[in-house]
Amino acid sequence: MKIAAGAAGARIVGIGEHRPSRIVTNEEICKQIDSSDEWIRERSGIVTRRYAAPDESVVDMATSAASKALASSGVEPADVDLVLLATCSHPFQTPGGSSQVQDRIGATHAGAMDINAACAGFSYALSVASDAVRSGSARHVVVVGSEKMTDFIDPHDRGMAFLFGDGAGAVVVSASDTPGIGPVVWGSDGAQAETITQRPTYIEVQHALATGQPLEPVALRMAGQTVFRWAVTKMGPAAQKALDLAGVRADELGAFVPHQANLRIVESLVKTLKLPSSVVVARDIETQGNTSSASIPLALSALLQGGQVQSGQPALFIGFGAGLTYAAQVVEIP
């Protein structure tokens, strides 16, 4: 049997974003929960978030972000070999959304697959893309994180309603002579699966419909404090390991782009990693909320648009969330 000839390295060559137009303030959220702008800012750092329009889907947002990423990369859609859609809020068990994104962006020769690792999904998909390119399975891969979290959030849930937003971020990963995506550090703690989980399940919905029992709205539930403690204790060592594997020191980083779950988690990780003030830290959560698998590419895109980081600098990514799952890697900024 022959082995496919892979590339020496893989790197991000383009980036695109889609931020829905509707901006939602803390005051608006507090019409449905007993809370305050002050509490939300202090406990999460969130000032505003964006909500998709009723007819704006995960696939629509992913298509928009992916098309922009392709345009910025100069890669022709027909040359894309694989489309990976990281999402946990595509509202269909089957089919996944990636095939529709593949069709709509004109990636006529590409395979397509959804990846659900919740808020860690983008980092997982990025690693799969890098491995596909280096193994010779693909030359160009579109990686999108797209979420319409508002379809799965109960607006009356005091612990969840203020946290989440909608949006999509995408990158193009291509073959390169030198590595631009470092080794991934990934892990999972399925014993804590119940800490962030969707209720009711599809089967519970079917049962309620069949028996006429009352039906709760489908929504995510979270043991916030437990997840918070897990994130601030376990994500620092995982991120440090990604730096070590890439051979990059914290003071060599251009940017730290962690999943935007809570500004207090971001600041805690900055301390744990002893990041010097020269490292730009993504704080997109302030205006975007938690967009799950879209948060890392959206946050990097904001830093690039704001001129806060430069192409070629190393950036540290770490995604973490339901599962529980996490994944971290160092990348070269496109």
Using CB under 6 A, list all residues that contact ligand UT7. Answer: 33, 35, 39, 43-44, 119, 158-159, 162-163, 224-225, 227-228, 231, 261-262, 265, 290, 321
Decide whether 189 or 251 has the Cβ nearer to ligand UT7.
189
Decide whether 114 or 147 has the Cβ nearer to ligand UT7.
147
Q: What CA–CA distances, in Å, run from 66 to 77, 82, 200?
A: 10, 12, 32
CB 196 → ligand UT7: shortest distance, Å? 6
CA 238 to mean position of chain CA atoms: 17
**Residue 147 and residue 27 in contact, taking contact as beta carbons nearer than 8 Å:** no
CB 295 → ligand UT7: shortest distance, Å? 8
Whether 259 is catalytic is: yes
Decide whether 104 or 221 has the Cβ nearer to ligand UT7.
221
Whether 18 is catalytic is: no
CB 14 → ligand UT7: shortest distance, Å? 26
Residues in a beta bridge with 321: 325
Decide whether 51 or 230 has the Cβ nearer to ligand UT7.
230
| Residue 91: cis peptide before it, omega within 30 degrees of 0 | no
Q: Which of the following is catalytic: 26, 119, 140, 262?
A: 119
Cα–Cα nearest to 139, from 15, 2, 4, 334 = 4
Whether 290 is catalytic is: yes
**Residue 88 and residue 118 in contact, taking contact as beta carbons nearer than 8 Å:** yes
- How many residues make up the chain in this entry? 334
Cα–Cα distance measured from residue 271 to residue 278, given in angstroms and rounded to the nearest whole number? 14
Decide whether 124 or 162 has the Cβ nearer to ligand UT7.
162
Q: Nearest residue by C-beta to ligand UT7? A: 224
CB 294 → ligand UT7: shortest distance, Å? 11
Q: Which of the following is catalytic: 26, 140, 259, 262?
A: 259
CB 256 → ligand UT7: shortest distance, Å? 16
Cα–Cα nearest to 155, from 313, 62, 24 = 24
Residues in a beta bridge with 102: none
Cα–Cα nearest to 53, from 86, 16, 24, 91 = 24
Cα–Cα distance measured from residue 164 to residue 220, given in angstroms and rounded to the nearest whole number? 11
Catalytic residues: 119, 259, 290
